[in-house]
C-alpha cells in the first residue's frame, strides 16, 4: 500500500520522479524521455522534479547554454501530451544556478 503525503497543499502519493537524467549528458532522445515520464505518470507518479539547469552545459569558454531550460520544457511537453489527470500532478523546479562544465 502506498502512503500519501502532503506537499504545498497537494495530497500526493509518496512516489516521485526526478527528471535530471532525462535532460543532461547521456540523456535519451526526446521521445524516449517523454515516454519515460508518461510511464511514471501511468504508474502513479504525481510528483515530478525538474530544474531549469537540466540542460547540456555550455561549450568550454563560451558561457552559452546549448539548451537552457530543456528539463522544464521536457516535463511541460510530457504533461501536455499525457492523457491522465494533469491537475493531480505537482511539478517542482529549481532556479538560480547555471551549469558551465
List % helix, strand, coil for the chain (3-state, nearest 5): 30, 15, 55
Q: Would you state the pLDDT for residue 32?
A: 98
Buried b / exposed e over 45-54, threshold 16 CB at 10 Å, is bbbbbbbbbb
pLDDT of residue 22: 97
pLDDT of residue 4: 74
State pLDDT tens for residues 16-71. Answer: 999 999 998 899 999 999 999 999 999 999 999 998 888 887 766 555 667 888 99
pLDDT at residue 53, as a whole number:
81
Radius of gyration, CA atoms only, the chain: 15
Q: Which carries the bigger pLDDT value, residue 83 or residue 61?
A: 83
Q: At what angle do helices 70-80 and 30-42 cross, to 10 degrees?
A: 60
Amino acid at each position: 500500500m502506498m502512503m500519501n503525503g502532503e506537499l504545498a497543499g497537494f495530497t500526493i502519493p509518496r512516489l516521485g520522479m526526478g527528471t535530471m537524467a532525462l535532460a543532461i549528458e547521456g540523456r535519451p532522445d526526446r521521445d524516449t524521455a517523454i515516454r519515460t515520464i508518461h510511464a511514471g505518470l501511468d504508474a502513479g507518479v504525481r510528483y515530478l522534479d525538474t530544474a531549469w539547469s537540466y540542460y547540456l552545459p555550455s561549450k568550454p569558454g563560451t558561457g552559452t547554454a546549448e539548451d537552457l531550460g530543456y528539463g522544464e520544457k521536457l516535463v511541460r511537453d510530457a504533461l501536455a501530451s499525457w492523457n491522465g489527470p494533469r491537475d493531480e500532478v505537482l511539478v517542482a523546479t529549481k532556479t538560480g544556478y547555471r551549469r558551465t562544465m
